[in-house]
Each structure stands twice: as C-alpha cells, then as structure tokens.
Amino acid sequence: MTSPAADKPLILSVDDDPGVSRAVVRDLRRRYGADYRILRAESGPSALAALREVKLRGQQVAVLIADFRMPGMDGIEFLEQAMDLHPFARRVLLTAYADTTAAINAINVVDLDHYLLKPWDPPEEKLYPVLDGLLEAWRGDEQRPVHGTKVIGTRWSPACSQVREFLARNQLPYRWYPADEPEGATLLAAAGKDISCCPVVITADGEPLVQPTDGELAERVGLNTTPAGEFYDLIVVGGGPAGLGAAVYGASEGLRTVLVERTATGGQAGQSSRIENYLGFPDGVSGGQLADRARRQAGKFGAELVTTREVVGLEVNGSARTVRFADGGRLCAHTVIIATGVDYRRHPARGVDEFTGRGVYYGSAMTEAAECAGHEVYIVGGANSAGQAAVFLSRNAGRVHLVVRADSLDKSMSHYLVQQIAGIPNIEVHTCTEVIAADGDDHLRGIVLRDNETGREEKAETERLFLFIGAAPQTDWLEGTIARDPAGFVLAGPDLTPEGGRPAGWELSRAPHHLETSVPGVFVAGDVHAESAKRVASAVGEGAMAVMFVHRYLA
C-alpha cells in the first residue's frame, strides 16, 4: 500500500556534488515539504531509474531540477530523457555563470522552463519565487494521476482481452493503455519491456507483470487465492448468485464456510449490465454491483472467498467430502454445495474460434463497450443476458443487431426486456437468423448471416460480435461421482429416482433431500441443477435452501 508521502507530487533534484545536492533538498523541504515529496539523486541514470518507478506507480512529477555539469550524463541529456517519462513536469537547469549560453540553448532542446545560477542564496529571493511560479503553472494544467492497476496491450489480442475481463469481473479498477499509443509506449519503456511482451500489467505498487496468468494476477492485486484452513463445515464450489447466496447463509448461520471460484464471483449474472426484475431493486442493479455486495456480505459474516482455484475432482473419504484442485491441492469439509453455474456454449460457425478475443467475445459486453462507440455491433442470443447486453450497448453503438434463431424474443426473454428493446430505435432484431461464418484479418471484419426461413445468406461488416448462446454445465469433474442428466446437469432429490425410493449406491436409510445429489452431504444449487429456472432470484433462493439441507445433514 502506498504511503501518504508517496501520494504527494514529486520535486526531484539531480546533482553529482553531494554538498550541493543536500543544500538543494534542504531548501526545497523547508518551503515545499508539506505539500510535495522531495527526492534527490546524484546522477542522471539513477534519477531516471527513480522516475521510471514513479511512472509505473502512477505518481505525478511537478518539477525536475538538474545540474548542467554532471559526468556521464549532463543535465540537458537527463531532462531530455525525463521528458519522455513525465512530459508535464516543469524543468529547471542549475548552471554556473560560465554556462549560461548552454542553458539558453537548452530552452530549445528540452523546452526548459527556467535556469538558475549557482549559488542562489538567499533562496527566499532567488529560488522560491521561481519555483512558486512554476508550481502554480503546473497545478493549473490538467494533471490527472493514475493510481492503481494499469494494463498495456494491443487492441486485438485475446490475451489482453482476457486480462481486462478478469480485472473487470473481479471489480478491480484498472486503466487501459494501447501499446501503440504514446502513453502506453512510455509505460512499456519505463518497465523495460516492448510490445512483444504484452499484455503487461503494472500493479499499484509499480510492479510490472508480463503476460500474467489469472492466478498470478490475483495474487498481485490482492485477491485471496489460498484457503486459510484445511477442513470446513461447508465448501461452496462456484461464485455465481447461487454460490454467493449459499456462502452468505452458511456463514451467517455459523458454518465454517469457504467459497472456491475459478475466475470471478458473479458468474454469468455478474456480466449483466442491468438486472431490473430482481427483488428489492426497483431501479435495477448491474450484475457486477449485485455480486460485489454479495461478496462483501459473505465476508462480513466470516465466509472465506478463494479465487482462481479450479476444482477438478470430488472424493468421498468416509464422512469427509474432498475437492481436488487443478494445481494438485485439496480441501476437505463435512459438506459441499455445487454451484458452478453454466458457461456459454461455443459457437460452431466457421471462423468464430479463430477470432475469439479479437472481435468475437463470449459475454464481455461491459468490458468492450467503450470500443463500440458509433459502430455496428452484433449480438447472438435470445435470453435475458443477450437482451441486457443489447440495451446496454445501444447507448453508444451506432446500431445493435440482435440475432436470434427463434421466431420471437418472447419465447426465452423476460417481457420487460422485450418491451425495452422494442422501444429503442437503434436496436434491430433479426429473428429466424443465425451466424454461419466469421471473417477478418488480424481481427474480425465481418460475419455471414443466414435467414433460416428463406435460406438467404448475407454478409455484414462488423468488428464486434458478442455471443450469449445456450447453457453448458462444466461438470466433467463430477464424472463417476455425481449423477447427472444426459446434458451434464446435476440431478438431485426427487429427480434422482422419479419412481421414488433411494438412488443406486445410496447408503443412508432416508431418501435424498430436495437439493441433495447422489452422494450424501453433497448438494447442488443454481443453474447447474437439472431443470433449474435460470434466473438470478431462483439461484440465490436455491443457495439459501441448500444451506438449510446442509444443517439437516449435519444434524
């Protein structure tokens, strides 16, 4: 965490004479130390190294004061290179009387703001009035320090898109810098990297991360990636609405609860720009806001939230239920709630895989919205997530095309959304239509649409295609342990044995509870549950209900 002093604008003095250097800093601190951070260096290279670190941290530099005669790198050379890092800093050259001609020439070379003759005693007459004027002018400029995380990358890179999506879904603020623009190039140079290293993430502490994995990124930006204990009352696998609901109710009722999430809490609902039919939010709430509140609520009651840990297996070890992680770790508990939700199905059209992350996106409407301003945007899907994305993108996009295979939106989308879409003039709905191909070069340039009623095919130019299609449960990790239906959704309660009785291999005398799977003590909630309602409210409700059955099991 940065200190209060580190948040102050910087005044940097560079002089190879230690005596002069100390004198300059002494005078600067006496006058400006309360409002500015005073830093000194005794060579140009060491000063540039300090300025690179300051640049990566997103801190401001107000004034640079450099002695003209320094060995190796003189003051003019230093100021010229410092300009590339901090172009808005005011620049002052310290000179002896004999060097005034060089100082005057430097005005044109480094856009020098002032030169001071040594010695400047008394500073009240010769130093402070000059700096007072420079600082006043500097404060009058539009200076905006950028603290926090910075992402430098290329616009059509899948890896860069993934980093931005990870940060956005985890509610971690960041600023995006295209590597081919001046500020992005300057940050790369300050980090000692080039465009081939992208994405490069600069943390709030100024640490550059080159092409980080989700796990590496999570650790550096403060997310919890490691459980504090080895055994819990309840492990919740999945951080969507059902998992968050289970974590809140489990922890609030005294269960030692840990929630394990592969990527980011919120699930598909967390990517929704606006949910308007969730109880208690008459003005609507974004999925990200809802997930953030639920996450903080779970933490308030003592639930642990662990991110970027992928669960790949489930084991029964006597009375313990064990989940195995992809990295070889494992975690045990008395009970488990499976709340892994669903992922969007992969689109089978030719070219879609090739351009995923380079103009084709699964979800991601909020992350990419700024890039859609004024452009033609296509969205594939007929459920609420697609409708919410269409409404959201219509605010800035030139035109939004909603592509659905059905003959009407009414079959799969909430009535309020259908009405909203009908009333927005720059949203065009293409029914009985599907995308059959995607084309481009370094990124998406166009798609091919087919009218399924007439068979007619049509090419459409676009650089943005958002896919919100179907629901694919990621439950292969339950193979051989938990009963699922043919589509992979988890069976529970009465659905295990429609004719009544107990499922095969069930060892208890009672029948499974309503949300209990084919393994006693393992429950399911939310969209991954077979025949679920696929709505946020029902997922949260099942999460809470599953905790009730956990209590019954433990009793």
Question: In whole numbers, what is the pLDDT of the chain averaged over residues?
Answer: 90
- Higher per-residue pLDDT: 21 or 550: 550
Q: What is the mean pLDDT of residues 94-107?
A: 66
What is the residue whose two structure tokens read 């166009």?
446
Fold topology of 231-343+472-554: FAD/NAD(P)-binding domain (3.50.50)
All CATH 3.50.50.60 domain ranges in the chain, comma separated? 231-343+472-554, 352-467
C-alpha–C-alpha distance, residues 521 and 553, integer Å: 6
Taking 50 as the threshold, does the pLDDT of residue 1 lie above it? no
CB 531 within 8 A of CB 488: no
Q: Would you state the pLDDT for residue 104?
A: 65
Beta bridge partners of residue 64, listed in sequence order: 12, 91
Element (H, E) at 440: strand 433-440
Pick the most confident of 65-69, 175-179, 546-550: 546-550
Helix 75-85 and helix 44-57, axial crossing angle in degrees, nearest 10: 10
At the second CATH level, the architecture of 149-220 is 3-Layer(aba) Sandwich (3.40)
All CATH 3.40.30.10 domain ranges in the chain, comma separated? 149-220
Q: Please calculate the CA angle 269-272-274 and round it to the nearest 5 degrees.
A: 120
Query: Quick one: pLDDT band at residue 323, thresholds 50, 70, 90?
Result: very high
Domain 352-467 in this protein, CATH class: alpha beta
Taking 70 as the threshold, does the pLDDT of residue 135 lie above it? yes
Which amino acid would we find at residue 121? D
Taking 80 as the threshold, does the pLDDT of residue 154 lie above it? yes
Q: Assign domain 5-140 to its CATH superfamily.
A: Response regulator (3.40.50.2300)
Q: Would you state the pLDDT for residue 2?
A: 47
Q: What is the mean pLDDT of residues 42-59?
A: 89
Taking 80 as the threshold, does the pLDDT of residue 498 lie above it? no
CB 380 within 8 A of CB 435: yes
Beta bridge partners of residue 117, listed in sequence order: 95
Taking 70 as the threshold, does the pLDDT of residue 123 lie above it? yes
Pick the most confident of 59-73, 318-332, 362-376, 488-502: 318-332
All CATH 3.40.50.2300 domain ranges in the chain, comma separated? 5-140
Q: How far, rounded to the nearest angstrom, does the alpha carbon of residue 204 sit from its chain's CA centroid?
A: 14
CB 414 within 8 A of CB 502: no
CB atoms within 10 A of CB 554: 12
Taking 60 as the threshold, does the pLDDT of residue 145 lie above it? no
CB 153 within 8 A of CB 200: yes
